[in-house]
Structure 1
Amino acid sequence: MKPIKPFEPILTDVIPQGDQWIAQVKWDGTRILTYYDGDKTQLFNRKQNERTKQYPELLRPNSYIRAENCILDGEIIALQNGKPSFYEVMKRDRVRNLDRVSQLQQGVPITYMIFDILYADDQWLLDKPLRERQQILRERITENEVIRLVESFSDTEGLFNVCMEHQLEGIVCKNLESTYVLEGKDTRWRKRKKEQDLIAVVGGVTLKNKTVHSLQLGQFDKEGKLFYIGSAGSGKLTAKDWVAITNAIEPIIIKDNPFFNQIDVKDGVWLRPALTVKISFLEWTEGRTLRHPVIESFVTVPIEECLLE
């Protein structure tokens, strides 16, 4: 089966309500589509990069799939202190030394939160409404210790309030009549988040006691110019992570400031744009910088995809 690009929700500040809308918890993990052809199972992320070997827990389709073949859409999550952690799941997703996968299975157990089914028993389901796809999903998938079906709630506002109380990422609201559009993104799926997030390019760092202390962040405009959008030093990185970053930047240190909008950074070191990082933040300031940016995790997103909205 050829990997596809999944349907995406749009960001919204208004939570839709009405009989045609349901809400689901927006799990803070990595989007993974499962392709089962009746014999082989393969996993791909939303960028169509293969992740089959990173998650061997999902490669026993007979334990949870009741179909001759299928394509499933969901989110792989890993918990930290009882809550989904993007930083934790990236330990699994970014592993390149596959000999470490077995060890990571013990240290970073994952759960596959399945919320849609696109293909089953030799038939595409894309044109069927969501309410019908959900019924098919319940008929075809058996839950176990790793596999879970994402629960839907009719009280969209209520679910968001519960998510905020428990410091979860947010919700995704979906129109029950919505079909599934490959590579699509429209208002029939809407996400309401506690915070916003984005992927930024690291254009520089600051040092403290010869160790990286904070990151200077940027995104490219349509002309390919890198614009400074803020500095982040707080987040989920450990002291060990900061040491690893300090070592990793050595080959990409440059003399000149890579940002088009010149900034002055005390104890700063400029970097050739190469590293990308997921950042959560409250809002954009009037000066087009990030308010309260927090480092979630380094990612493997290509720098050319880090574009100013």
Structure 2
Amino acid sequence: MDLPVLPPLTPMLAKAHAGLPPGEGGDWWFEPKWDGFRVVVFRAGDEVELSSRGGKPLTRYFPEVLDPLRAALPDRAVVDGEIVVPTDQGLDFDLLGQRIHPAASRVERLAAETPAEVVAFDLLALGDADLTGASLAERRRALEGAVETSGQVHVNQGTFDRDTAQDWFVRFEGAGLDGVIAKPAGSPYAPGVRGWIKVKHSRTADVVVAGYRVHKDGNGVGSLMMGLYDDDGRLHSIGVASSFKADQRRQLKAELAALVLDPSDMGDHPWAEWADPEAHAEGRLPGAPSRWNGQKDLSFTPLRIERVAEVGYERVDHGRFRHTSRFLRWRPDREPSSCRYDQLEVVPPVELAEVLGRA
């Protein structure tokens, strides 16, 4: 491709922060943080390539956005953004993940049934000009002048006003967004550098610890398997807590040893049928086939249902934690049966049109 910035390119990244960063007006540019696949779009004439955050090609998985990108972008440009799948209930990351599939027929069907859209938030090249050395403020002005928004291609909203950014942080979660990104207005674009700040939602929940997976090095607990009860008393898998240090992994394994169920006793465990594909239609069980790694070992060590843990999480999608949760502490004062879905915060819905600036 004849462009001043070429793939592969690792996009500029953000580091977590507990709140909006301090600063004077005009120091920080705030944008809604989308929950999708990061994408760098390379357009040179009719040729359009989509590259993931890790540099892998995404073009074949999202054919429905190629023509809209050709219509929206200048003839030669490189744009940083996000691919999302909007629905009437907000963004749907599960539907987005289903697109990463080897079968072209499945990709084509889903492209028609649940079409993706692209939200652009940075311009890295325009014509012969490499804009990565320009300030964010300059790149933003160029982006707004270069991209013609359409039904499937959008320019992300942005503001210097902290009150507006705080309002977005609270309200836009109801449309499925992650939080707010803060960017220094005078900063250049530094590929792979965590020079931005991301402010995401943080909550806690008390969950049942129903099993664990051994760490990949074979030493200790790699992740705790967690569940919540529904109104009918069924224990659903809600996700995992991981990222333990080496000494904590070994300590957890020793601490949970007395609760480990013998395989012959697995029939009494609420997730005993986890390996049966048909059982997953009846509830949320661990071990659903991975779209990302079909060879991944999803077996786990079952535990007697006696332990409760408090974990930190960001949000819940389709009855599961959207991201890996963080183990905080044991809750010996809680009974597993008291760990129910009704403890989770329900976020009021917000129309995506408002987030996209069309309301």
TM-score by length of 1: 0.69
Q: Deviations along 1:147-177, whole A, 9 cap, x unmatched?
A: 0000111222332223313434211111111
How far, CA to CA, are the matches of 2:184 and 2:303 in structure 1? 48
Amino acid at match of 2:328: T
Q: Deviations along 1:193-230, whole A, 9 cap, x unmatched?
A: 1238xxx9767688x9xx9942554336479x68979x
How far, CA to CA, are the matches of 1:107 and 1:227 in structure 2? 48
How far, CA to CA, are the matches of 2:52 and 2:296 in structure 1? 29
Q: Find 1:129's aligned residue among 105, 128, 135.
A: 135
CA contact (8 A) 2:240 2:324 kept: no
Q: Deviations along 1:3-44, whole A, 9 cap, x unmatched?
A: 111111111113134222121111111111111233421111
How far, CA to CA, are the matches of 1:101 and 1:241 in structure 2? 26
How far, CA to CA, are the matches of 1:123 and 1:245 in structure 2? 49
How does 1:256-275 map onto structure 2 within 5 Å?
Answer: 264-266=303-305
How far, CA to CA, are the matches of 1:205 and 1:248 in structure 2? 18
Q: Find 1:59's aligned residue among 61, 66, 69.
A: 66
Aligned equivalent of 1:32: 39
- 1:85 Cα deviation from its structure 2 partner: 2.4
1:240 to 2:281 alignment: yes
Alpha carbons of 1:205 and 1:185: their partners in 2 closer, same or farther (altered >3 Å)? closer
Aligned equivalent of 1:260: none
Structure 2 residue runs without a partner (length 5+): 1-5, 204-214, 216-221, 254-270, 272-278, 307-319, 331-338, 345-359
Aligned equivalent of 2:119: 113
Q: Find 2:328's aligned residue among 257, 277, 285.
A: 285
Computed over aligned residues only, the root mean square deviation of the Cα atoms, in angstroms, reads: 4.2
Aligned equivalent of 1:183: 192
CA contact (8 A) 1:34 1:71 kept: yes
TM-score by length of 2: 0.60
How does 1:1-309 map onto structure 2 within 5 Å?
Answer: 1-16=6-21, 17=23, 18-60=25-67, 61-67=69-75, 69-92=76-99, 94-166=100-172, 167=174, 168-186=177-195, 189-195=196-202, 213-214=236-237, 215-219=239-243, 221=245, 240=281, 246=287, 248=289, 252=297, 264-266=303-305, 279-280=322-323, 284-286=327-329
Alpha carbons of 1:160 and 1:241: their partners in 2 closer, same or farther (altered >3 Å)? farther
**Aligned length, in residue pairs:** 262
How far, CA to CA, are the matches of 2:56 and 2:224 in structure 1? 25
Identical residues among aligned pairs (%): 19
CA contact (8 A) 2:119 2:153 kept: yes
- 1:254 Cα deviation from its structure 2 partner: 5.9
Greater Cα shift, 120-129 or 244-253: 244-253
How far, CA to CA, are the matches of 1:51 and 1:202 in structure 2? 29
Q: Tell me the SS of whatever aligns to 1:41.
A: strand
- 1:115 Cα deviation from its structure 2 partner: 0.2
- 1:285 Cα deviation from its structure 2 partner: 1.5
Alpha carbons of 1:160 and 1:227: their partners in 2 closer, same or farther (altered >3 Å)? farther
Amino acid at match of 1:12: H
Is the helix fraction higher in 1 or 2?
2
